[in-house]
A = this chain, B = another copy of it.
Amino acid sequence: MAANRRVETLTRHLTSMALVDVEAAPQLALPADFDPRELYEFLCRDNLELRDRIMEFLKDDLYQPNYYLSLMEFRELTLQRLQKFVAQKFFSSKDYITDPLRFQAGLECLALADYSLSIKAGVHFTLCGGTIAKLGTAKHHEQYLPRLDTLDLPGCFGMTELGHGSNVMGIETTATYDNQAGEFVIHTPSDTASKFWIGGAAQHGKVCTVFAQLTVNGKWEGPHVFVVRIRNDAGGPIPGVRIKDNGPKMGLNGVDNGQIWFDHVRVSRDALLDAFASVAPDGTYSSPIKSVAQRFGTMVGGLTTGRMLIAQAAVDAGKIGVAIAIAYACKRPQFGDTLIMDYLTHQRRLLPALATTYAMHLSMLRLKAIFVQKRPEDAKTIHVMSSGLKAGATWSRGETLQACRECCGGQGFLAANKIGAMKTDMDVDVTFEGDNTVLMQQVAKALLDAAVRSPSAPSAPSVSVPALTSLARIQELLAYREESLTAELAIAMARAMKAASSQGKQAAAAAANAAFEDNLDTVVALGWANVDRTAFQIFTEEVAAAPSATRPTLGALALLYGLTRIERNLAFYLAAGVLNGQHAAALRLRVNEVCRQLVSDGGKPALRLCAGFGIPDHLLQAPIAFDWTQIGSDGHQM
């Protein structure tokens, strides 16, 4: 038949785009006979018992979601929730220094219940308490930390200003030392200098760690941090402090953000957090770090915990999202007996999200392990990893929750099903604690520091089509992209420097910076390439160390992660000539195949991986994760 011949001919024509052959599609079984608790313990690693206790405590009625409240009622509920939590003394502000994993574990559990509660606690303990612990000295610790532990003195963090978000060095608030009085004068010289977005400022905050440009004896010493009362013990006003409510936000409305102006507010000499710089009564300024920029970098560098908590909360939200969406998809039929998880489009959205969530979680484990060792030589690694992972984890969280919400259809939009509500609350995480675009630039800058001095092009890996399933080849491909983008940018910057070198060092540096700015799209891509390569490497290392029964399933997930990261940047590899059309076709089929494996056996592998997250039912909450046909029954709070 002519038509059949034509089909055959066309098929040959289009081999590079070969589609799945119905009969040929393999349905490989994936043994997933492991105990989810064993996987959970592997994934959790620290403070298991404390976490179990806190999660158990969160069964308390006070922590059940209530979406009926007005803004002001929700803020009040959030305060009450924090008060009751604090009263349990699960951890102390001092743990920020002495037992950081315990400190973080406690706060991580709160995010499982409600993000407003988590952020209100985070502002108080991490941003305010952590700053006092890290940048203050014994006198500050004694004066403030016990009162923070009891929430007797709710704390705020006064860094961001209306006109200065990403550029913290450029804040305008001033602190001028008055030699005669032995006091600092804190002042807001303009509206753009007002402290903005300050969590807790609108209603409950009484004390604030204020970042201000210090001037002593007429000399500017750069930004320093001061502990300033913004309300008295009774919650009443402090003369010279003006506060305005930021009002409703798109989410996170349990947190009372506000705007603060200081009108020549006087604080004692002790208000300066003086671990890295001090002012003597006579106005003699001293610091072991001479450069203003380095000094500020050291101060801010000590405050990585907040960024790590944001990243971990994003990962944990991803866990909740995929656990709900996958549970629902494995039970919900549509068009006869077909479960929605049976559709490739569903698998393609939920399973890479599951893989990414694992990759980010395991990477955070690694970062925390390095962080607690406190080795000076790890400072750069911590900076790069915490920046990249915060951006990578929160952007991935956004994608993951969006996919989960859409895969649950209308049910994903119902507040009771948690995904949508989390998505709204957490949307802020991609721009706070460092805007993600700026953080990815930080990652790239660190990688380029060395590369610009001596740019070198990486050699392209050679990959055969079958080798696409090899974890080692995937690792090479991911590394190649990072090295290649580093080389491209380093070369562009080096060329610009060279062209401007005759005009002096400053001109050369400016030219290099201009080349960097002109290629910001590639800069951000480099940040991502670093996160992808690092996370995949950690993922494969962790699979090797995982309980043996979990390894086949975790391994398939790691493979899916690696394949989809390459697929996402496929154009790069094709343009570079490292992969070709046949690879592209094979890659697609491999991804589809691994997806099918992960949902074989009624979805068991995927469901076990979700169970491994160890989110108890009362924190998963969503009715659709259990019996979706009873969604409207009175058993579930709606």
- Listed in ascending order, the chain A residues whose CB lies under 8 Å from chain B are 3-4, 6-7, 10-11, 13-14, 16-17, 19-23, 25, 67-73, 160, 162-167, 170, 191-192, 194, 196-197, 244-252, 259, 333-336, 343-345, 348, 398, 402, 405-406, 409-410, 412-416, 420-421, 423-424, 427-428, 430-432, 435-437, 454-457, 484, 487-489, 491-492, 494-496, 498-499, 511, 514-515, 517-524, 570-571, 574-577, 580-581, 584-585, 588, 592, 629-632, 638
Contacts and interface: CB of A to CB of B under 8 A. Distances in A.
Given A7-B455, A246-B414, A248-B415, A196 B577 contact: no
A160 to B, nearest CB: 7
Nearest to A634: B244
B247 A344 contact: no
Contacts of A194: 632
A10 B413 contact: no
B638 A248 contact: yes
B345 A520 contact: yes
Contact of A70 (B11, B69, B170): B69
26 contacts: A3-B494, A7-B495, A7-B498, A19-B488, A20-B492, A68-B70, A70-B70, A162-B629, A162-B631, A165-B410, A166-B335, A170-B336, A245-B638, A246-B638, A250-B415, A251-B420, A252-B413, A344-B518, A344-B520, A413-B427, A413-B428, A521-B588, A570-B571, A574-B575, A575-B584, A577-B581
Given A165-B410, A413-B250, A196 B515 contact: no
B431 A409 contact: yes
B420 A427 contact: yes
Contact of A491 (B14, B436, B580): B14
Contact of A406 (B13, B431, B523, B629): B431
B250 A421 contact: yes
Nearest to A436: B406
A499 B8 CA distance: 12
A410 B498 CA distance: 39
Most chain B beta carbons < 10 A, residue from A4, A409, A575: A575
A202 to B, nearest CB: 11
Contacts of A484: 14, 17
A260 B7 CA distance: 51
Contact of A574 (B420, B574, B631): B574
Contacts of A435: 406, 409
Nearest to A500: B22
B10 A457 contact: yes
Contacts of A160: 410
Given A25-B518, A592-B521, A248 B574 contact: no
A488 B521 contact: no
Given A22-B515, A250-B405, A250-B413, 4 more contacts: A16-B575, A67-B248, A68-B72, A574-B581
Contact of A17 (B19, B250, B575): B575
Nearest to A489: B19
A247 B71 contact: no
A431 B416 contact: no
Contacts of A629: 162-163, 191-192
